[in-house]
Structure 1
Amino acid sequence: MFRNGKSVTGLAILAFFVLVAIFADVLAPYSPTKIDPTQRLRPPSPEHWLGTTHIGEDVLSQVIHGTRGVIVVGFLAAAIATVIAITVGVIAGYLSGWKSEALSALTNVFLVIPGIPLIIVVASIFEDPPLWAIATVLGLIGWAWGARVLRAQTMSLRNRDFVLAARANGEPLRRIILVEMLPNLLALIAASFVGTVTAAILGLTTLAYIGVIPVTAYNWGTILNWASAQGAFQQNQWWWYLPPGLCIALIGVALSLINFGIDEYVNPRLRSAGERARAMRTKGLDVNDAVTAVRTDLSIPTDDPEPTDTAATREKATA
């Protein structure tokens, strides 16, 4: 993965956003709620690099502080969903009979549960829903797809020789799953984790944009909510809505690149194709060229004084 340009680029972009979230208080030039009536709707300037809002708030400071909420909710929801997916998917794949069918039915039920309406109902219970509550709900409704994939892969592993040998030696179920199976599932677990982070971030920003999450909890979605409510889209106040939108797109691209790298690591065909493409680039060949380069030097070596008579050779071989 770390020799793959896609995954390295995605990890670098994601690390940048994580550092911004950690050091938001240091990086932000102003408080995200600081109001300056003399600087209303100002375009980008040396004082406010990304301009100001309708009441004079600094957009850059809001984007920086909003990164923290996005990263926290994305990773917390993905962690919750991944733990549930591993527990349900691996156990359902290893066991057989009614236990496996019951866990599979539970997974199918969570696959069809609508996420956004459920979160709206949960958010209506709290007057000011905290980020951990939103992340928990996103994690509880986002584990089913990962569990299905892990169940299918575990079913293909449970009859392998190393698992049968561990079972014949009397190894407990806990050790068989943790030591024998999980190392073979790490790539799929990582891919499921990255996909859940993407879904959680998009879910959080969507909920904030439609107003389900209180606008006092800053993230990129709440910035877009304020911009839409104050007519920034109609008045072309691009400095207000474009930066958070680009941040959402950029972190989505980063997570997609990481997922591509994981896919290439998991799939031997993709991995060999990627290694072959890198080797061709190293030799200066065009990867997309449909014609294979061949030797153009057809001269006869000097140690062979005369060419071989192909017809005579065939006659001798026939005789």
Structure 2
Amino acid sequence: MKIKIGAGILVFFALMALLGPPLIGADPAATSEAGLQGPSAEHWLGTTQTGQDILVQIVYGARVSLGVGLLSALIATVLAVVVGLVGGYVGGAVDEVLSVLTNIFLVLPALPLIIVLAGYLPQRGVGSVAVVIAVTGWAWGARVLRAQTLSVRRRDFIQAARASGEGPLRIVFFEILPVLLPVIATSFLATVVAAILAEAGLSFLGLADLSTVSWGSMLYFAQNGQALLIGAWWWFIPPGLCIALIGTGLALVNFGIDEIANPRLRTIKVPRKARA
């Protein structure tokens, strides 16, 4: 049930990001004289201080926010898989070096590090922000995968693969990696949530590309326009609600994958007769 609800939310936002802009066909940066108008038949979610349509910005912002989240999570997951699996399987000096590197990134506070790195970016486009978020967010996934690899490498089928003459790289990526796919999936989804929140935080602080419409940049301009003080709730609630909903959908899918991978987490349904 959790996966179905979460997947439904994710499909809705994915369709919004892919099909929404071509269907709407409007410019999210286009201004008008209808400034700070509440939701109406003409502007379903109201307008900003300069007359920009909130609904159009929400639709276009979905592409940027989801794009940064997915790209960051993809880069971070690849780094975590390589570092975690290689270190956990090879062991020795290689594992110690990779563990020290992982511990350094785990100890460093993520948000201040993201802010510092983003401040030195020559270009603050989607790709640059995604790389910065990924560089600061791979360590905890690598630590989990390393621990799981240390456990899996002692199993009988790994010993059989070694005895049959398979090389280390083949064992790591063709024997161990498929076993850890549920763990990798949960790590990926959690990283997507963290990346979307990080992008929103950077945009809200003015450290991202504010010329690109995203849910975070919408919150930034709403805060600068003092939307809360003047009662323009339609300016900041929709982007904040979208971030909350996409985070909820990813979390539900993540919980569902955990229940499938670990039967102990499944909820046992008691029959009605037994209740009576």
TM-score normalised over the length of structure 2: 0.95
Q: 1:70 to 1:57 in 2, by over 3 A?
A: same
**Which of 27, 32, 39 is the matching residue for 2:28?**
32
Which residue number in structure 1 is paired with residue 174 of structure 2? 179
In 2, Cα distance between equivalents of 1:130 and 1:41: 29
Report the secondary structure of 1:32's partner residue. coil
Q: How does 1:86-235 map to 2 (within 5 A)?
A: 86-126=81-121, 128-235=123-230
Cα root mean square deviation, aligned:
1.6
Q: CA deviation at 1:98?
A: 1.6
Report the secondary structure of 2:230's partner residue. coil
- Kept in 2: contact 1:27–1:64 (CA 8 A): no
Which residue number in structure 1 is paired with residue 6 of structure 2? 10
In 2, Cα distance between equivalents of 1:293 and 1:229: 56
In 2, Cα distance between equivalents of 1:9 and 1:108: 36
Between 1:161-170 and 1:108-117, the stretch displaced more is 108-117
The size of the alignment, in residue pairs, is 276
- Kept in 2: contact 1:30–1:58 (CA 8 A): no
Percent sequence identity is 48
In 1, Cα distance between equivalents of 2:122 and 2:135: 21
- Kept in 1: contact 2:206–2:220 (CA 8 A): yes
Structure with the greater relative contact order (CA < 8 A, sep ≥ 6): 1 or 2?
2
**Deviation above 6 Å: which 4+ runs of structure 1?**
none
Structure 1 unmatched ranges of 5 or more = 287-291, 295-319
Larger radius of gyration: 1
Between 1:62-71 and 1:16-25, the stretch displaced more is 16-25
In 1, Cα distance between equivalents of 2:119 and 2:32: 33
**Which of 18, 34, 41 is the matching residue for 1:22?**
18
Between 1:194-203 and 1:118-127, the stretch displaced more is 118-127
Q: What letter matches 2:256 in structure 1?
A: G
In 2, Cα distance between equivalents of 1:54 and 1:184: 53
**Which of 48, 58, 63 is the matching residue for 1:53?**
48
Structure 2 unmatched ranges of 5 or more = none
- Kept in 2: contact 1:66–1:218 (CA 8 A): yes
1:268 aligns with 2:267: no
- Kept in 2: contact 1:42–1:51 (CA 8 A): yes
Q: 1:172 to 1:127 in 2, by over 3 A?
A: closer
Q: CA deviation at 1:128?
A: 4.3
**Deviations for 1:245-304, whole angstroms, at most 9, x for unmatched residues?**
110110111011011101101112123xx3x42xx4xx5x29xxxxx447xxxxxxxxxx
In 1, Cα distance between equivalents of 2:144 and 2:100: 14
**Deviations for 1:160-201, whole angstroms, at most 9, x for unmatched residues?**
111011111111111111221111100000000000000000
Q: Between Structure 1 and Structure 2, which shows a larger proportion of helix residues?
A: 2
Q: CA deviation at 1:51?
A: 0.5
